[in-house]
Amino acid sequence: MKKTLLIVAALALLVRPLQAADEVSVRVYILKHKRVEEAALLVRPLLSEASSVTLTSKLNAMTVTDRPEKLEQIGKILASFDVPPRGYNFAVKLVSARADVPAGSIAREIGGLGAKLKSLFQFNDYALIDSAVLRGVEGGMLKYELGTEYSLTFGVRAPGGSGGKELLLSPFALSKLWKPPGQTGPGLMRQLYQTSVPITLNQTLVLGASREEGSKSALILIILAEEAARPDAEKGAPGTKAVEKRP
C-alpha cells in the first residue's frame, strides 16, 4: 500500500510542471516609436519567475514568454508607452536691457511683458534683439541663431512622463559671437552660460539676466512653451504591434 502511494505522489510531481507549461504563452511585441531596450525596463518588474524576455534590436521587437494574463498586462503598458514623441512649440524672445542710458520706451515687439521686465530687473531701457517660434520634439535638440551675434541651444526632456505639464530644457546654452580686437575673419562662439532650465507648459518663463562683459547691460530670454498637436495621433496611427506564438 505504501509503495502505491509513493508512486502516485511521484506521478503528481511530474504532472504539475506539465500543467504549468501548458498555461504559458509566447507573444512578440514590435515597437514603432520607442526603443525596445527602454520598454524592457518597464516590462521586467512585471514578469513571473519562470518567464523569459528576448530582445531583437534590429526589428525593435521583444519576445516574452509568460502566463496569458501577464502578457495582456504587458501589452496594455506597452501600448501606452509606445506613442509618438510629443511635439512642442517654443516662442522665444531675446531682449537687450541697459542701465547706462536714460529711461526709454519699451519696444512694441516685447508687448505686455515690458511692465513685467521692469518689475523684475533694474534697467532703464529694453529692446528686442530677435524673436522666433521653434518646433521641437521630446528627446530632441534645438539650435537657433538669434540676431547676428547669439546662438541658443537646448534639449527637450519630459521628466514628468508623457502626460506631464513640466519640461526640462537640458542642456540649455546661450552663446555669443566673439572676435578678438583687430580680427577681420569669422569669430568664435563663446558660451555665456550653460544650465538646465525647468519650464511649465503655457506659462511664460523669464530667465535671469546674463550680464555682458564690461557694461551695464544684460540679456534676457523670454520663453513660452506649448504642446503641439500630434499628426499621428489625429490619424489614429497604430503603435505597438503584438503577435502571439504558440510554444
CA gyration radius, the chain: 29
pLDDT at 16: 45
The torsion angle over the Cα atoms of residues 74, 80, 81 and 82, rounded to 10 degrees, is 100
Identify the helix (H) or strand (E) that includes residue 116. Answer: helix 113-120
In order of 62, 108, 118, 148, 164, the CA distances from 130 in angstroms are 47, 13, 19, 9, 30
pLDDT at 234: 44
pLDDT at 55: 93
pLDDT at 12: 42
Q: Select 23-83's CATH number: 1.20.140.10, 3.30.1370.120, 3.30.470.10, 3.90.1150.10.
A: 3.30.1370.120
Tell me the average confidence (pLDDT) per consecutive run of 10 residues in the chain, 247 residues long.
45 44 83 91 90 92 94 92 90 84 58 65 80 92 93 86 78 88 76 91 82 67 88 51 57
Which residue type is seen at 73? Q
Contact between residue 100 and residue 123 where contact means Cβ atoms under 8 Å apart? no
With 0-12 / 13-18 / 19 or more C-beta atoms within 10 angstroms meaning exposed / middle / buried, residue 133 is exposed
Residues 6+ away with beta carbon under 8 Å from 2: none
Length of the chain: 247
Q: How much is the pTM? A: 0.65
C-alpha cell at 165: 505639464
Delimit the domains of the chain by residue range.
Answer: 23-83, 87-229
Q: What does DSSP assign to residue 44? A: G
Contact between residue 125 and residue 74 where contact means Cβ atoms under 8 Å apart? no
Query: What is the rounded distance in angstroms from the CA atom of residue 134 to the CA atom of residue 136?
Result: 7
Bridge partners of residue 211, in order along the sequence? 218
C-alpha cell at 24: 504559458
Give the count of beta carbons closer than 10 Å to the beta carbon of residue 218.
19
